[in-house]
Structure formats: structure tokens, C-alpha cells
């Protein structure tokens, strides 16, 4: 892989390098919480989804939700990680109003997933492998709401006990752009795997951003940790701001202290929240209410078998097997739903025109990425709600392939399909939109146009070749866009040259 050059922060004393490690919290896609049967659905009334376990009533016992463990294992396999067949839950003790248990159940010593990695690609095409240290399962806390009452805070425990995967990167990230590419790539992967919906604005995915700076060749500097940053852009801003702040601090004689900071989206800056606690402050110990998690090979094989083709592999296949450009391959594989839609349309088109998929791939890819995406954007719809189905698109493209529809007619019929949700063939039938290649009709239209523009004909004949396009346009208009362009070209040449 070609290495990205390290990003530099200019200081008064010279150049500084940024070192970043990200701890991403991803809410596991599961109907129930990690240790209780309460629902995890987003947007419910406050405290409508709180079981006695989540509320930490005395005597309540946690029961592991197997689906959450399965999703963590699938995620681990997707980042090529070691899956730990034996893992265990620990209690991390601390007091917080939105944590009724007084401790969070997490995995400090024996996480479910060990070392893996994610390959990222920057906008300029450089690639880099980012190490992932571990993924562990833990409970989310509830939410304190401070802005609904003038003098009191409210507590909403709906999120309390939801399963999180904490995905901890190695300090391999060296720039805001790499941090952005890592989080975007991780989000894409989780969405493909189906282990997290990646909805950052609903808090389903958020990152703790660890940043330090150093002079080239020096050991790592002291890091700060900016908590709960919830968009790719904010993560990049937090890295940039925090690195700048640390360089300025060090160069003016100060020292970076290891602390927890908060990101303020309004100003794009970070501010101190609290000093960093050490692990021993939490008095971690194995949770006595839970047995260790033990997996056999068959379970892991089953998890592996349930993974879809992952984005990197899909993208490579689109390029090498389907012959798509890197751009088209990236766009069409960006989301699993889009890729599935494209592949269904591709198979259907190939079947309808009776050609191998490799022959029609570029045509389908171009149509999906320009016409369909453009239309969906205008309609404000996701591909899952497209008014035109993959089969319907295949029918349209087949009518183009067999010469029934010219390029402009394809666009017209597609517009009508978007509006009416009807099939291409029936629209062509109803509106009489078949392409006309009959030279009699085309010659007649050409004659009409020539008769109406005698000066232009004279100019053309005296050498003003550029006027040819004008005639094509006029004839097409006269025939309501239905004339076969090839035939119009041929006949115009013949009749104008006389």
C-alpha cells in the first residue's frame, strides 16, 4: 500500500506530527438490550423502555442477549480480528444519575474480539491499514436531560443497558483526513455487516477522540481524550483543533495533561471536562452474576457464513470483473442497499437482453449512478423507496438495447416511470413513444425543416458545417424526440448534400 505522507501542524519551533487513536462506540443492532428484554427502539417516550434489570431493582439478574454476542463476533470477523472463544464481563464501578446500577458491565480484561484492522483510503487514493486493538461489549448508560426544567434535571433510562461495541483503534491515525476516513469506513462496514445502523445523529455511533502531538521521530506525546463526538466532520474538527491547541500550549511553555475534554460543535473547539481517571479508580472486577462467554468453532463458522460480501471485496470485484471505473465501483458499493439494488438490476438487465452481465454492467452502472441517483435526490427518497424497481429498470434498458427507444426517449420514459410507477413497455405503448427509424417519416420531417429554413440550408451548403447540429435538433423536435438519431444523421447528410 502506498503510504499517506504524515500531516503536519506548523509551529513556531518547527513541524509537529499528529497521533490519533479512536474509541468508537457503536450501538449493536438488536431488538432487546444487552442483559434485559426491554426494547431498544429509538424515539420512544422517556422511560418507556426500562425493565427492572435496567432500573437496577434489588435482586434483578442480568441475562446475556445472545444476538448481541453474535453481532460482535460477526463484526470481529469483518475486521479480520481474532475472535476470543472465552471472554468475560467485568463491573466498572462509578456513580452517575443515569446509571442506576452504580456500575457499567463491560469487558476490560477479556474482550470478545481481539486484534484486527481496517484498511482506509483517502480522497487522493492513498491507502493505509489502521490497527484495531479490540472490540468489547458493554452497556450504554441512560441520558440526563438538563434543558427541560429551570432548576432540575430529568433522567431518561431508555438507552440504559443497550448493547454497545467499543471498537478501539491503535494510535495509527496521523491526520484529520485519516480519522475521517477511518470512521466513515468503519461505519460503512458496520452497516454492511448489519451489526450497527450507523445513525450518528441518533447517537448509534460516536467516537472518543484521543489526540497527541510530537516532533518527527520522537516518542508519543501525552494524549487528551475528547468524548462522544458524533459526526465524521466533528471528529475531523476535534482532531484538528486539539492538535493545534496542544502545539500552541507546548510551544508557549505549557504541558499537555492527560484529561477528558468535550467538543463544542458550535465553535469547533474542545474544552476540559475532567482529569483522566485510571483503571484502578473504577475498581474493576468480574461480574459475579454472569458466566463467561464461551464459543465453539461451529458458532464462529456460522457467524462467518452469515457475513455478506464486504465493501472492499465488492468494490474490487466491480472493478476487476465488471470493468467499472474506481469511481463507479466506489459509488455503487458505498451502501449495501445500493449495491444490492444495482446487482439485482444488472442481473435482470442481462437476462432481458440475453447478454452476459459484463456486457451490460457499464450501461446499468451509469444509469443507476446518474439518472436514478439524480431522480432519487430530487424526490428526496432513499434507494429502498425508489418508485422504479430493479426489474422495471431492466425492462427500460432492454427497450434501449433492442432499438425501440433512443437515448432521449429512454429519459422521457424513465421520467414517466418515476411519476406513474408503471412499466416501461406499457408507457411506450400508451404514449406511442417508440423510436421511429422509418426513413419515409424521417425524410418528410427533414424536408419540412429544410423548407422552413432556406437560408440555413444555403449557408450549410456554402460550407457552414456547424449548422448540422441545428438541423438534427430541429428534426428531432419535429418528431417529438422519437426519431432514431443514427437514421436522422444519415438522412440529413444525404438530403443536405444534394
**Which span (2-10, 61-69, 148-156, 162-170) binds ligand ADP, by CB under 6 A?**
162-170
Instruction: Provide, rounded to whole angstroms, the least separation between the CB of residue 18 and ligand ADP.
Output: 8
| Candidate list 187, 223, 314, 491; residue touching ligand ADP; CB under 6 A | 223
169 near ligand ADP (CB under 6 A): yes
CA distance 69 to 51: 20
CA distance 172 to 132: 9
Shorter beta-carbon distance to ligand ADP: residue 22 or 449: 22
Residue 347 CB burial class (10 angstroms; 0-12, 13-18, ≥19): middle
Shorter beta-carbon distance to ligand ADP: residue 256 or 324: 256
Instruction: Provide, rounded to whole angstroms, the least separation between the CB of residue 279 and ligand ADP.
Output: 7
Distance of CA 449 to the CA centre of its chain: 52
Nearest one of 430, 431, 333 to 383, comparing CA atoms = 333
Instruction: Provide, rounded to whole angstroms, the least separation between the CB of residue 208 and ligand ADP.
Output: 7
220 near ligand ADP (CB under 6 A): yes
CB nearest ligand ADP: which residue?
21
Instruction: Provide, rounded to whole angstroms, the least separation between the CB of residue 174 and ligand ADP.
Output: 10
Instruction: Provide, rounded to whole angstroms, the least separation between the CB of residue 222 and ligand ADP.
Output: 7
**Are 307 and 79 within 8 A, CB to CB?**
no
Distance of CA 420 to the CA centre of its chain: 30
Instruction: Provide, rounded to whole angstroms, the least separation between the CB of residue 193 and ligand ADP.
Output: 21
86 near ligand ADP (CB under 6 A): no
Q: Residue 9: in which H helix or E strand, if any?
A: strand 8-11
CA distance 434 to 153: 67
Number of residues that bind ligand ADP (CB under 6 A): 14
CA distance 146 to 159: 16
Helices (H), 214-369: 232-251, 297-305, 311-320, 326-333, 336-353, 357-366
Cell numbers given for 42: 429509538
111 near ligand ADP (CB under 6 A): no
Instruction: Provide, rounded to whole angstroms, the least separation between the CB of residue 75 and ligand ADP.
Output: 17
Cell numbers given for 3: 503510504
**Which span (119-127, 163-171, 262-270, 292-300) binds ligand ADP, by CB under 6 A?**
163-171
378: left (phi over 0), alpha (psi -120 to 50) or beta: alpha
- Mapped onto helix, strand or coil, the DSSP state of residue 191 is helix
Shorter beta-carbon distance to ligand ADP: residue 22 or 112: 22
19 near ligand ADP (CB under 6 A): yes
| Candidate list 171, 203, 323, 387; residue touching ligand ADP; CB under 6 A | 171
CA distance 169 to 118: 9
CA distance 309 to 362: 21
CA distance 316 to 2: 17
- Mapped onto helix, strand or coil, the DSSP state of residue 413 is helix
Q: How many CB atoms lie within 10 A of CB 446?
A: 24
168 near ligand ADP (CB under 6 A): yes
Instruction: Provide, rounded to whole angstroms, the least separation between the CB of residue 391 and ligand ADP.
Output: 46
Shorter beta-carbon distance to ligand ADP: residue 116 or 390: 116
Query: Which residues have a Cβ under 8 Å from the Cβ of 332 and sit 6 or more positions away?
Result: 318, 324, 338, 339, 342, 365, 368, 369
Site for ligand ADP in 316-345 (CB under 6 A): none
250 near ligand ADP (CB under 6 A): no
21 near ligand ADP (CB under 6 A): yes
Shorter beta-carbon distance to ligand ADP: residue 20 or 433: 20
Shorter beta-carbon distance to ligand ADP: residue 211 or 345: 211
Instruction: Provide, rounded to whole angstroms, the least separation between the CB of residue 169 and ligand ADP.
Output: 5
Shorter beta-carbon distance to ligand ADP: residue 184 or 478: 184
Q: How many CB atoms lie within 10 A of CB 298?
A: 8
**Which span (9-17, 87-95, 167-175, 482-490) binds ligand ADP, by CB under 6 A?**
167-175
136 near ligand ADP (CB under 6 A): no
Instruction: Provide, rounded to whole angstroms, the least separation between the CB of residue 124 and ligand ADP.
Output: 24
**Which span (210-218, 291-299, 311-319, 349-357) binds ligand ADP, by CB under 6 A?**
210-218
Instruction: Provide, rounded to whole angstroms, the least separation between the CB of residue 211 and ligand ADP.
Output: 6
Instruction: Provide, rounded to whole angstroms, the least separation between the CB of residue 100 and ligand ADP.
Output: 24
23 near ligand ADP (CB under 6 A): yes
Query: Which residues have a Cβ under 8 Å from the Cβ of 106 and sit 6 or more positions away?
Result: 89, 90, 91, 92, 136, 137, 138, 139, 166
Instruction: Give the CA radius of gyration of the chain.
Output: 30
Instruction: Provide, rounded to whole angstroms, the least separation between the CB of residue 304 and ligand ADP.
Output: 26
449 near ligand ADP (CB under 6 A): no
215 near ligand ADP (CB under 6 A): no
Give the footprint of ligand ADP on this chain (CB under 6 A): 19-23, 168-171, 210-212, 220, 223
Amino acid at each position: 500500500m502506498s503510504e499517506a505522507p504524515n500531516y503536519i501542524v506548523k509551529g513556531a519551533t518547527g513541524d509537529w506530527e499528529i497521533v490519533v487513536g479512536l474509541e468508537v462506540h457503536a450501538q449493536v443492532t438488536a431488538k432487546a438490550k444487552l442483559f434485559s428484554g426491554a426494547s431498544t427502539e429509538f424515539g420512544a417516550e422517556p422511560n418507556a423502555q426500562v425493565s427492572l434489570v435496567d432500573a437496577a431493582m434489588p435482586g434483578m439478574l442480568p441475562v446475556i442477549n445472545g444476538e448481541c454476542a453474535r453481532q460482535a463476533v460477526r463484526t470481529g470477523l469483518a475486521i479480520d480480528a481474532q475472535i476470543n472463544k472465552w471472554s468475560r464481563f467485568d463491573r466498572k464501578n462509578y456513580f452517575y444519575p443515569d446509571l442506576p446500577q452504580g456500575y457499567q458491565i463491560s469487558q476490560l480484561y477479556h474482550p470478545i474480539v481481539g486484534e484486527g484492522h481496517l484498511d482506509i483510503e483517502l480522497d487522493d487514493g492513498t491507502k493505509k491499514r489502521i490497527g484495531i486493538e479490540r472490540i468489547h461489549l458493554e452497556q450504554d448508560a441512560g441520558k440526563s436531560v438538563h434543558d427541560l426544567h429551570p432548576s432540575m434535571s430529568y433522567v431518561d433510562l431508555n438507552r440504559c443497558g443497550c448493547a454497545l461495541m467499543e471498537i478501539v483503534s491503535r494510535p495509527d491515525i496521523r491526520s484529520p483526513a485519516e480519522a475521517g476516513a477511518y470512521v466513515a469506513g468503519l461505519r460503512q462496514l458496520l452497516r454492511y455487516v448489519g451489526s450497527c445502523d450507523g445513525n450518528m445523529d441518533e447517537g448509534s455511533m460516536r467516537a472518543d477522540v484521543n489526540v497527541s502531538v510530537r516532533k518527527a521521530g520522537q516518542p508519543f506525546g501525552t494524549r487528551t481524550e475528547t468524548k462522544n463526538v458524533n459526526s465524521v466532520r466533528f471528529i475531523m474538527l476535534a482532531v484538528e483543533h486539539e492538535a493545534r491547541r496542544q502545539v500552541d500550549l507546548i510551544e508557549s511553555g505549557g504541558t499537555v495533561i492527560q484529561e477528558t475534554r468535550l467538543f463544542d460543535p458550535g465553535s469547533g473547539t474542545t474544552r476540559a471536562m475532567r482529569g483522566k481517571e485510571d483503571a484502578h479508580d473504577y475498581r474493576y472486577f468480574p461480574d459475579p452474576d454472569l458466566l463467561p462467554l464461551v464459543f465453539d468453532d461451529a458458532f464462529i463458522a456460522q457467524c462467518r457464513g452469515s457475513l455478506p460480501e464486504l465493501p472492499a471485496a465488492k468494490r474490487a470485484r466491480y472493478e476487476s470483473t465488471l470493468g467499472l471505473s474506481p469511481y463507479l465501483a466506489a459509488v455503487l458499493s458505498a451502501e449495501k442497499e445500493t449495491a444490492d439494488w444495482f446487482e439485482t438490476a444488472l442481473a435482470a438487465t442481462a437476462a432481458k437482453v440475453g447478454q452476459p452481465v459484463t456486457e451490460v454492467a457499464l450501461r446499468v452502472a451509469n444509469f443507476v449512478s446518474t439518472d436514478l441517483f439524480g431522480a432519487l435526490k430530487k424526490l428526496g427518497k432513499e434507494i429502498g423507496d425508489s418508485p422504479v424497481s430493479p426489474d422495471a429498470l431492466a425492462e427500460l434498458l432492454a427497450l434501449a438495447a433492442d432499438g425501440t427507444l433512443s437515448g432521449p426517449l429512454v429519459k422521457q420514459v424513465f421520467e414517466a416511470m418515476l411519476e406513474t410507477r408503471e412499466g416501461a413497455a406499457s408507457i411506450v405503448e400508451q404514449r406511442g413513444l417508440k423510436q421511429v427509424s422509418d426513413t419515409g417519416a424521417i425524410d418528410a420531417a427533414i424536408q419540412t425543416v429544410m423548407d422552413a429554413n432556406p437560408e440555413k440550408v444555403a449557408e450549410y451548403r456554402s460550407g457552414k458545417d456547424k449548422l448540422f447540429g441545428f438541423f438534427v435538433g430541429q428534426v428531432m423536435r419535429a418528431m417529438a424526440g422519437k426519431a432514431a438519431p443514427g437514421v436522422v444523421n444519415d438522412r440529413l447528410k444525404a438530403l443536405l448534400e444534394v
